[in-house]
Amino acid sequence: MNENIYTEIPTEDNTQVASIVTSDQIYSEITTSQDNVQIPLPVMNDHIYSDLKTEYNTNASKHTDTAAGKENIRRNYVIALIVVLIIIICVLSSILIVQNLEQENGETACEGGWYQFGDTCYQFSNSSVTFDDAVKMCIGVSSGAILLEIRSLEEEIWIRFMMKLQGLTTTWMGITDSLDEGTFVFVSSDKKIQNVYAHWDRGQPEGGKSENCGLLLLGYEAWHDFPCSFKYEYICAKARLCRN
Ligand SMILES: [Ca+2]
């Protein structure tokens, strides 16, 4: 508003009187008018307060639910871990209690260097030998001893547990199909293993005539056939004898 504005005000004698209204005057009038405008302020009535409170409570509830969910997952994980540990402790304690009761009842435990599971004693060897040598070593180590022949899932689970404790990773089992390709039998009895217990890994045995001996590897959940000339650890087993 840089220019003056002229208005003509008619008089009684039609004399034209020029009246000069400056831009500053107009601006002053406008701003004064604006200052006089009453702008209504928001009023915090009960309705608005109720809406805000509801929104706040909803957001707070979402935050609380997320935190509570994470806390529940963490708590359930800890509870599950504790339950598993308790189960393991109970199983091992039960084995020890049964063994102690058997000793108190006059039954013999396994001799030194041998570990008992059920009615069998086991000796774990870290030496690596061929399959045939493992068979011979076990026959020679003690009267009635043979190379490990697993006959149940429970026995295999215990053997794997003990292998970890004894530091073994790969051990021969006394099973072979060297006499009849594809038909694995126990070395000590020539009985077919599938009539008792067999736990081959997927696709096993798959070595054909070049792999005729059974191997238990902690790195695999089930058995593999391997060349009998390879050298691995071995486990001997013999029946636990009673005094009477
Ligand atoms: Ca074979």
**What pLDDT, on a 0 to 100 scale, did the predictor assign at position 1?**
45
Exposure b/e, 219-230, CB count within 10 A at least 16 = b: eeeebbbbebee
Band of pLDDT at residue 92, cut at 50, 70 and 90: confident
160 CA → ligand 1 middle, Å: 24
What tokens appear for 185 in the block? 């039998």
224 CA → ligand 1 middle, Å: 10
User: What sign results for the dihedral spanned by CA atoms 85, 91, 95, 97?
Assistant: positive
What are the boundaries of each domain within the chain?
Answer: 5-35, 52-105, 115-239
At 138-155, the pLDDT tens digits run 999 999 999 999 999 999
Mean pLDDT of 203-225: 96
Residue 22 pLDDT more than 80? no
Q: What mean pLDDT, rounded, does the chain reach?
A: 82
What tokens appear for 182 in the block? 């594809």
Report the CATH fold assignment for 115-239: Mannose-Binding Protein A; Chain A (3.10.100)
**What pLDDT, on a 0 to 100 scale, did the predictor assign at position 182?**
96
182 CA → ligand 1 middle, Å: 6
Question: pTM of the predicted model, to two decimals?
Answer: 0.58
Give the C-alpha separation, 224 to 197, whole Å.
Answer: 14
**What pLDDT, on a 0 to 100 scale, did the predictor assign at position 9?**
47
Using alpha carbons, select from 33, 16, 37 the residue that is nearest to residue 25. Answer: 33
